[in-house]
Structure 1
Amino acid sequence: MDREKSSYAVQSVENALDILEVLADEIHDGTLPYLAGKLGISRNKTFRLLATLEGRGLVEKDEWSGNYHLGVTTVELAQRFLRNISMIKHAHPVMESLARKHDEAVYMTVLRGSEVLFLDMVDCDQQIKAESFVGKRFPFFTNAAGKAIKAMESKDVLEKYFHHRRKEIPNQLGLEAELELIREKGVAVDIGGLGEGIVSVAVAVRDYAGKVVGAIAMLGPSFRMVAGRLENEIIPSLCEGAEMLSMKFGYAKM
């Protein structure tokens, strides 16, 4: 491979990515000697890299021919990426409308394990505002988006989660009660979880099967996100926006 290497690149990671690129580009599956020659590294090093990738499901080896090809995990990653892109495409116009209406930052978020990933944002024009959280992950219980999504999981799933993670969550009983209330109201509000003085409000978004696929959230400083404004302006707008976005994903409220 003749690609120029960055001075900060980790060589083994570069080689592993090169293997994936070769397997993705080649019509025929790669043998160990072929891949080693293509990358210009020893067969022993190539074998170790392939074994690591195989362990993560990114590469698979045919038992009969000994040839390597891309594994099923690469397909899953690609599908997840495309789902996120599709979600952003559908969500962005709704987010822009909410941001213009209330002049506060609006985010599209998804749950990854027990963490919330902030996928996309439409910022506000306010002079005082929080830093961008796009691309960042936070424990679900630290913000409204995570709570809005997690609250919609079945009680059995939540019970199992709390049983295995009880040592990781401060005030578990309080969180369980809060999630139950969010499930009833359909909206989550968090104060201070993402930083001192930051208020987040969120409503879950569903797909055609009724499955929660993410949450649309609005963030702002506490001196602007006061109770009266939340109840009378922001929460009704977020509920309407989440319903509109859910309809774009094929959800039909019964």
Structure 2
Amino acid sequence: MSQLRVSVATYNQVVFPHPENGITILALERKATVLLDGSVNIRAQPFGGGVKILNPKSLKEIVGEIQFDSERSEQERDLRILIDPSKWEDVKRYCLFCLENPNDSEIESAPDRELVEEFDETMGVQLNPGQYAVEPMGFVVENTPVWTENWYARRSLTARVYRTYRVKLLDAELCKSLLDTSLEVSDQTLGMQAMKNKTGRANSVLALPLNSVTEAWLALPPELRYQKIKADGYELDESTLVILDDVDVPQYQRIN
């Protein structure tokens, strides 16, 4: 392997009690993407995304000149970079150290910016700090590189570091709106929106009982869990496993 792609992100387990029965509901971001053959891929994944490099000085001391995986990552300053594979352990330790501090000055480690942006994109809601509470969950590391499906860095062997948070929604009206949107926007509707959009993409939300999602993966033996699955008729991306700390996955090193 000549170069290893490293991707660092925050992922959020966004939860709230169902207003009628109190069951814990998991909120996911639902994405529709028009593929090259004209078909539409629709899947759900956790809220969250890539962290930004705020000050590259220490990272440069580890890897030398920073090589981003794409022009987009460079423009956004996302910590999605290409490194010599021999530097992986040092980069991993650096990331875990920085992500431990939610106010770190070198890489973005808090979930708020991505969360606010994604609620705006998916629901048109301007999320404010009084509507949610954040609790750190832990870290997830993918030490064994896998091929990425990232649109901008396809077919790159990638190792990943995730900082995970539990985000509790506190606003009853917001929770009801999220449930309503999940029911009203079908996969078919979302796919049509993506086809009409110049970017070939459209986003919405999906709300499912947390237990249903967890049990769908627990029904599989551990060695078969690292894959997309169907839960209540919806396709869930394997990245959803990152925020399900009760589900053992051989590919993940969970650090609490």
TM-score by length of 1: 0.22
Structure richer in helix, relative to its length: 1
Q: Of Structure 1 and Structure 2, which has the larger fraction of its residues in strand?
A: 2
Rg (Cα) greater in structure: 1
Higher relative contact order (CA closer than 8 Å, sequence separation 6+): 2
TM-score (norm 2): 0.22
